[in-house]
Amino acid sequence: MIDALTVALGVTALALASWCGFATYRDQPTKDWHFIGMAVVTLLGLVQLVIGIVQLARGQRPDESVAIFVAYLVGSGLAVPIAAFMSLAERTRWGSATVAAAAVVLAVLEVRLYDIWGGTGA
Amino acid sequence: MPESAPESSTADEAEQPGRPDKARPAGLGQGPGRLLVLLYGVFTVAAASRSIYQLVAQYHEAPLAYILSAVSAVVYAFITVSLVRGGEGARKAAFVCCAAELLGVLTIGTWTLADPSAFPDQTVWSDYGMGYLFIPIFLPVTGLIWLRKARQD
């Protein structure tokens, strides 16, 4: 369950990164549609955070330590919304670049989360 | 979320050319600097949380590596704050820190390759930041270029 969500989040994060990277290339700031995309990714991140905590509460344990698992869950929940606010303040192509970078960071966090949880299809 | 009236949506995208640059102090955290703020912020959180966890949970395994991670976290945090604050003093301080950061990456990177036994566990700067997509070595170079450019504006 959580593995499928991790993969889905990784893929959507990369999609968001290329979308905003394209906006950077075209010298455009983030538009409403980009913010809807960021909202979707953020929502997935929050769902992942809740499911992760529920799994822990049900007694399942990640391969690595619980503290690291929770830290990565929180980090992946925060990365895109923080970048979204930064791009609101930066109405240039660099606002788009910031969101693209945060989305790449999120994708990397998801790869790590997959390893931390164990990737055994729990 | 920018849910303003559709007719006026182009107005806020237009730049104001008449705005004098001197009104805002240096603008270190604006334009491309905004991207640097994010990356330095990410690395501050990454290095800090990593070193705090390791210093608390497993200090005796590789104390040198963990202390170096903590030092790098402080350097990253200082540069992030300097970029956000802006101004000439912050620019100079951030410049010095970026140089120190570059020196640190090169030193630790070489050290980890030359004497791996000194580092039983990874740091952010091990192998020139390979575990972090080599961003640790590109970041200070980009930072130095950006801070140099900011002085001329």
pLDDT < 70 regions, chain B:
1-26, 152-153
Give the pLDDT score at A45: 95
Give the pLDDT score at A119: 61
Alpha-carbon distance A56 to A60, whole Å? 5
DSSP alpha helix (H) spans, A58-92: 66-89
Residues of A in contact with B31 (CB under 8 A): 90, 92, 94
Contact A101 B39 (CB under 8 A): yes
Give the pLDDT score at B62: 85
Evaluate whether B97 touches A105 at the Cβ level (below 8 Å). no
Contact A86 B45 (CB under 8 A): no
Residues of B in contact with A79 (CB under 8 A): 42
Give the pLDDT score at B17: 46
Evaluate whether B65 touches B115 at the Cβ level (below 8 Å). no
Alpha-carbon distance A68 to B49, whole Å? 9
Alpha-carbon distance A115 to A100, whole Å? 23
Alpha-carbon distance B67 to A65, whole Å? 20
Confirm whether B56 is domain-assigned.
Answer: yes
Confirm whether B7 is domain-assigned.
Answer: no
What pLDDT band is residue A29 in, cutting at 50, 70 and 90? very high
Give the pLDDT score at A85: 95
Confirm whether B112 is domain-assigned.
Answer: yes
DSSP category for residue B32: H
Output the six-digit token pair for A110. Answer: 């998801």
Q: Each residue of A61-103: pLDDT tens digit?
A: 998 889 999 999 999 999 999 999 999 999 999 999 999 999 9
Output the six-digit token pair for B105. Answer: 């990456």
Rounded mean pLDDT, A110-121: 82
Confirm whether B46 is domain-assigned.
Answer: yes
Give the pLDDT score at B59: 86
Tell me which residues of chain B, numbers 35 to 94, contact chain A at a CB-CB cutoff of 8 Å.
35, 37-39, 41-42, 45, 49, 53, 57
Confirm whether B17 is domain-assigned.
Answer: no
Give the pLDDT score at B153: 62
Angle at B96 between CA B27 and CA B148, to 5 degrees: 45
Spatial CB neighbours of A43, under 8 Å, sequence gap ≥ 6 = none
- Number of Cβ atoms within 10 Å of the Cβ of A13: 25
* Owner of token pair 């700031």: A29
* Interface test with chain A among B12, B39, B42, by most A beta carbons within 10 Å: B42
B93: domain range?
28-152
Residue among B32, B34, B45 whose CB faces A86 most closely: B34
Confirm whether B72 is domain-assigned.
Answer: yes
Contact A35 B39 (CB under 8 A): no
Give the pLDDT score at B1: 40
CA dihedral (A23, B133, B74, A99) in degrees, to 10, reads 10
Q: Let me know if A44 is exposed, middle or buried by CB neighbors in 10 A (0-12, 13-18, 19+).
A: buried
Contact A97 B35 (CB under 8 A): yes
Alpha-carbon distance A117 to B13, whole Å? 43
Alpha-carbon distance B124 to A22, whole Å? 30
Give the pLDDT score at B82: 95
Confirm whether B6 is domain-assigned.
Answer: no
ipTM rounded to 2 decimals: 0.91
Greater confidence, B124 or A21?
Answer: A21
Structural domains counted in chain B = 1
Q: Each residue of B87-128: pLDDT tens digit?
A: 899 999 999 999 999 999 999 999 999 988 888 888 888 899
